[in-house]
Structure 1
Amino acid sequence: MKRLILALAAIGVLAGCAAKNADYDQPAPEMAEDSYRHPGPPSLTLITIRSNDTGKGAHTALLISGSERVIFDPAGSFHHPQIRREGDVLVGISPAFWEGYRSMHARDTHHFDTQTVTVSPEVAEQALRLAYARGGVAGAQCALSTSGLLSKLPGFGGIRQTWWPNQLQESFEQVTGVAPTSYYEDYSPVPEGAILGIDRTTVARAEG
């Protein structure tokens, strides 16, 4: 896919959970001028970046859509000059920046899994508060911090706290019933079960 969505000085690197951001804690700010509110219902989207070759999870993040739409990107390395980062919260995730974030992570080596569940406005606001309050997350703790945040929310108490992105993805599916949707760029996956003539994988492919 042509990387035009975040072109013109976009800076985004898939470094899994290895990169450590500045370790500072800030309270949740008031709605800022660069915030974005999505017109859809309040929701949470678990993001899991996985290797195309091994399926191993490389990074976990959480898209939170409530009074504003942000990405809790713990220990992530995604940066863009037009995206403000508060601790490990990426602020102002409009549709263009959401597509750009996804496109910068999906590549020939990794794909981008999402699991979206609609929540009440109260749960979305609680998730926003917890994400802002978490501040910067230490390296390699993306899944641990995300699972810890989710487990504090009403209806998500069954989420197991874990260090591993794949285990969190599985736990999220068990609790919510939402299976992952996989997005690929520059890679053509062989669907699981294809050898039996059964396609068990939901796959979105980039065009252009």
Structure 2
Amino acid sequence: MRYAIMALCAILSVAGCAAPQGDWATDEEVMRAAYQHDGPPRLTLFTMLNNNNGSGAHSSLMINGSQRVIFDGSGSFEHETIAEQEDVIYGVTPMIADVYTRYHARNTFHVKIQELDVTPAQAERAMRLAKSSGAVPMAFCARSTSSILSEIFPGRVGQTWYPKALAADFGKLPGVTEEVLYEYDSDDNSKVLAAWDPSKV
């Protein structure tokens, strides 16, 4: 089992499921970054899938409640202008949500986007669980994300190590909508953030 997880780490670090590299934002920076989206309370599950063999590579969860955040357990998405604290990305404006999604879609991976409108209480509970998860170890992205969703939907979403299994469970919930994003940029997804200048958007 240990060797299987080590191999999985090597694969997922390429896909976007990697240990964070930068410093966490301070509490003050998190408070300043907070963004309230005017849409309904909603959970959005992102699943990154290999274009060649269809295997799952990464899972993350966008939560729209009293504010909008992305729980990006062991994710590699980071930028000096984006507030992130223990794998929770704050201030998820439409622009940041778009950049986040396109960062993961490239020549070798596409993104499945599954959305589900939920109650305000469910959204807030998901956010509390995300914030209390702490920094997620490498290759635990699906495990940590499914742990949150299994608390919100007990008996319907199970805990799993596999992004595709999580997407399958989530997709069976009544009301889930789904779309898929393909892009064919270079496999070096770091260029998406390196070229991004929020002041010019």
| TM-score category (smaller protein) | 0.7 to 0.9
Shift of 1:160: 1.2
RMSD: 2.7
* 3-state secondary structure, aligned to 1:175: coil
Match of 1:95 in 2: 94
Q: How does 1:1-208 map to 2 (within 5 A)?
A: 15-16=14-15, 18-21=17-20, 32-153=31-152, 155-176=153-174, 178=176, 180-186=178-184
8 A Cα contact 2:50 2:110, kept in partner: yes
The separation in 2 between residues aligned to 1:96 and 1:144, in whole angstroms, is 28
8 A Cα contact 1:17 1:139, kept in partner: no
8 A Cα contact 1:17 1:142, kept in partner: no
> 1:98–1:129: structure 2 CA closer, same or farther, 3 Å change rule?
same
For structure 1, which runs of at least 5 residues remain unmatched after alignment? 1-13, 188-208
The separation in 1 between residues aligned to 2:179 and 2:66, in whole angstroms, is 25
The separation in 2 between residues aligned to 1:29 and 1:133, in whole angstroms, is 18
8 A Cα contact 1:50 1:113, kept in partner: yes
8 A Cα contact 2:16 2:77, kept in partner: no
Return structure 1 stretches of 4+ with deviation > 6 angstroms.
28-31
- Would you tell me which structure has more helix in proportion to its own residues? 2
For structure 2, which runs of at least 5 residues remain unmatched after alignment? 1-12, 186-201
* 3-state secondary structure, aligned to 1:55: coil
The separation in 2 between residues aligned to 1:29 and 1:157, in whole angstroms, is 38
Residue identity (%) = 41
TM-score, normalised with respect to structure 1? 0.75
The separation in 1 between residues aligned to 2:155 and 2:28, in whole angstroms, is 26
> 1:112–1:139: structure 2 CA closer, same or farther, 3 Å change rule?
same
* 3-state secondary structure, aligned to 1:46: strand
Q: How many residues align?
A: 172
* 3-state secondary structure, aligned to 2:172: helix
